[in-house]
Each structure stands twice: as C-alpha cells, then as structure tokens.
Amino acid sequence: MTSNGPGIKQVTREGDRMNARLAGRRILITGAASGMGREIARLFAGEGAQLGLLDVNEASLSAVSSELGAFGHACDVTDRSQVNLVVADVARAIGGLDGVVNAAGILDIVPFADLDPASWDRMLAVNVTGPFNILKAALPFLLAAEAATIVNIASVSALMPMPGTTGYSASKAALSMFTKSLALDLGPGIRANTICPGVIKTQMTRYLWENPEHSDRAADRVALKRLGEVQDVARAALFFTTEDSGFTTGTQLPVDGGFSWR
C-alpha cells in the first residue's frame, strides 16, 4: 500500500483555487501510475479534486501519489476481493466518492491465429471486468453523492477493426456498451461516458511512436496529422467529470485526431 493518508494536500495553486472546477469532488482513478491515468490525476488535482489513485504498479503509483499529495493504494483491478477492500478504504480516506475514472488497461497486439487464450482472458479481465469490479464496489458511494460521474477509457478499437486486435477490440467494445447500459441503469443520479482514444503517446504505444517511420505513418492516417498526447485525453475526462457535460450520458467520444470517423 502506498498512502499519504487522508490528510489530502492538493497541488492547486492558491490563485487557481477559486476557479477550480473539481473543488469538493472526490474522484477515484485507476491506472493512475502511468500515461493517461497519471495525467488525468495531475489535471484533476490542479482543478481541486480530492483523489484516490489505484494501480497495480506500486512503485510508480507511490511517486504520483507523493507528487500530488493524493491517497494512493496498490490494487489489481481484476482481484475482486482486493478491489472491494481498497475502494472502501479510498472512500473512507477521502470522505466518499463523486466520480470514477477507469483508465487501467492492457494491450496485446497479436494476430488471432497466434493469440494465446491466456492473453484473451487477461485483456477481458483487466479491460472489462476490472471496471465492473471497481464500479460495483464504488456504487454505494456514488449513489450517496449528489451528482456522480463515471468515465471509462475504451479505445478507437471499440469503434473500428484493426489487425491483431481481436482480444483488445472485443474488450474495449464490451467496455463501451457496458458504459452505455450503465448510463441507463444509473441515471439520473449518475452519468457514465466512454472516451475512445486513438494513438496516444504513452508507455503502451512506445513501440510505435519511438520509431519515427511508424510514428509518421500513424500520424499521417489521421485528419489532425499528429499522435495524441495524454493531455488531450485528460481534458476530455475533465469535461465528463464536470457539469460542463451535465446533459451528456451514455456517449462514446473519440479523442483520436480524426481517425475513427471515416
């Protein structure tokens, strides 16, 4: 466990405090040790949120939690009994939950003929059952909140087929439809939306963007002619977590530079 305890010290600068868009909101973020989850945590902390950060990577999570003065807790989202304990712990530490962002995920790109059944099982477990476990455990707290939000990070792979992604695409399409169904079941008190990122420069896609040739080719495929940055996704997550999106639920928003609409 990595924890700075419930005495949350937010990094909100004094001058920003009055305009903080998440002041008083208590948000749990999974996959917070890296990439999009970490950037969402940074943006939300700057907007005055009280954060509970989860990740299976304890060392990296500890660094992010210390940086943000947030409550961090090591957790494998596929381990249902651990999730139940950890989510309750987080809610106790930050005084409840107004929102959840499920960013933890894994990617294995393998042609179907070579796809190991264990890899299929693991992608479904982390990418779909993980958010299910987290939200089941968080639900009593979200129901007790005034107006709660759920943001699930899927992928353009939920929207369009790509080679070698049978397992990943199936998991992300399932996550997106899960989220739409959640929006119906949990409204009006809780809104639930999905973000579908295109290629975003994180650890997960390092194999691609570190190679200039692959990177250029990937950028050339999209209307905006660049790969995505974690900030692009974090800003979308902020939109779905504030009243700016107060009449929006059950949607899936591509943040992909114009990759999936064609």
Ligand X SMILES: NC(=O)c1ccc[n+]([C@@H]2O[C@H](COP(=O)([O-])OP(=O)(O)OC[C@H]3O[C@@H](n4cnc5c(N)ncnc54)[C@H](O)[C@@H]3O)[C@@H](O)[C@H]2O)c1
The dihedral over CA atoms of 39, 40, 45, 51, expressed in degrees to the nearest 10, equals -120
Q: Is 254 in the site for ligand X (CB under 6 A)?
A: no
Member of 153, 186, 192, 218 binding ligand X (CB under 6 A):
153
Q: Is 257 in the site for ligand X (CB under 6 A)?
A: no
User: What residues numbered 85-104 form the site for ligand X, per CB under 6 A?
Assistant: 103-104
Measured CA to CA, the distance from residue 225 to residue 92 in angstroms comes to 45
Residue 207 annotated as catalytic: no
Token output for 172: 């992300």
In whole angstroms, the minimum distance from the beta carbon of 158 to ligand X comes to 9
Contacts of 97 by beta carbon, 8 Å cutoff, 6+ apart: 26, 27, 28, 52, 87, 90, 91, 138, 141, 142, 145, 148
Residue closer to ligand X by CB (options 107, 137) is 107
Token output for 70: 């947030």
By CB under 6 A, which span of 64-72, 131-139, 181-189, 192-200 interacts with ligand X? 192-200
Q: Is 215 in the site for ligand X (CB under 6 A)?
A: no
Member of 2, 12, 34, 62 binding ligand X (CB under 6 A):
34
In whole angstroms, the minimum distance from the beta carbon of 247 to ligand X comes to 26
Residue closer to ligand X by CB (options 50, 176) is 176
Q: Is 232 in the site for ligand X (CB under 6 A)?
A: no
Q: Which residues in 59-216 belong to E strands, given as ranges?
A: 71-74, 99-102, 148-153, 190-197
Q: Is 194 in the site for ligand X (CB under 6 A)?
A: no
Catalytic pick among 168, 178, 209, 240 = 168
Q: Is 107 in the site for ligand X (CB under 6 A)?
A: yes
Measured CA to CA, the distance from residue 23 to residue 221 in angstroms comes to 39
Q: Is 35 in the site for ligand X (CB under 6 A)?
A: yes
Token output for 118: 């264990």
User: What residues numbered 158-187 form the site for ligand X, per CB under 6 A?
Assistant: none
CA dist 244 → 7, 159, 231, 240, 248 (Å):
29, 25, 18, 7, 9
What track of x and - describes contact with ligand X for positions 45 through 84 (by CB under 6 A)?
A: ----------xxx-----------------xxxx------
Contact yes or no for 204/35 (Cβ under 8 A): yes
Residues in the chain: 262
Q: Is 205 in the site for ligand X (CB under 6 A)?
A: yes
Measured CA to CA, the distance from residue 70 to residue 54 in angstroms comes to 11
Tell me the catalytic residues: 168
- Chain residues in the site for ligand X (CB under 6 A): 30-31, 33-37, 55-57, 75-78, 103-107, 126, 130, 153, 155, 197, 199-200, 202-205
